[in-house]
Amino acid sequence: MALNINNDIFLVGEYHHVKPGKGSSFVRVKLRNIKTDAVIERTFKSAEKLEDAPLEEKELEYLYSSGDGFHFMDHNTYEQIELSSEDVGEGAKFLLENLTVTGLSLGKRILKVILPIFIIAKITQTEPGIRGDSTKAGTKPARIETGTTIQVPLFVGIDDVVKIDTRSGQYVERVKK
């Protein structure tokens, strides 16, 4: 569920309905700003009117980027949509060609792009791992095909395919081709 509060869209995280012994009941809600991902906690009285924001999930396929824009195709209408780097957010560093993502839209406008939890990417550049090198606690930097650098174990080499958690940007496992 999403709410429109002061022209900002917030997703409802947790809520608790409280009925104190004295006074009127209220609802304590944790809200996440859809643009900034900031979490706030608000209290609403039972008599307050709130404006619902009817969000719709759309399946989008990432096509390419040009300058500051990212181009997606809507799977239902085959319409191309260009989004700014602000709309895509931190997920831009994990966008692979033909990756299917979820777009949260309000009306015709896409507000946020949600990446899948895991992506499969190929390592394009890394140093060779030296056996016995424990100064880096068993990891080394590696660049994936999107251009993003992540930390991988010493045994991962160039052209290896790895699974990455897009929420944290961490290596999960090596994948067989």
Which domains occur in the chain, in start order? 2-52 (2.30.30.30), 56-114 (2.40.50.140), 118-175 (2.40.50.140)
Strand partners, 57: 104
Per-residue pLDDT tens over the stretch 113-124: 889 999 999 999
The mean pLDDT value for 69-85 works out to 90
Q: What is the dihedral of CA 93, 99, 105, 108, to 10 degrees?
A: 110
In DSSP terms, 3 is beta-bridged to 10, 52
Structure tokens at 35: 């643009």
pLDDT for residue 129:
67
Residue with token string 């958690």: 165
Question: How many Å apart are CA 91 and CA 48, to the nearest integer?
Answer: 36
Mean pLDDT, rounded, for 67-83:
90
pLDDT, position 99: 92
Segment 55-60 mean pLDDT: 91
Provide the strand spans (E) within 7-67.
8-18, 26-33, 39-45, 51-52, 56-66
Per-position DSSP letters for 100-135, written without gaps between them = EEEEEEETTEEEEEE--SEEEEEEEEEPPPPTT--T
Integer Rg of the chain from CA: 21
Average pLDDT, the chain: 87
Q: What is the DSSP letter of 160?
A: -
In sign, the C-alpha dihedral spanning 149, 154, 157, 162 is negative
Fill in the amino acid letter for 130. Answer: I
The residues pairing with 42 across neighbouring beta strands, listed in sequence order, are 29
Q: What is the pLDDT of residues 105-151, one digit of tens each?
A: 888 888 888 899 999 999 999 888 666 655 556 788 999 998 999 99
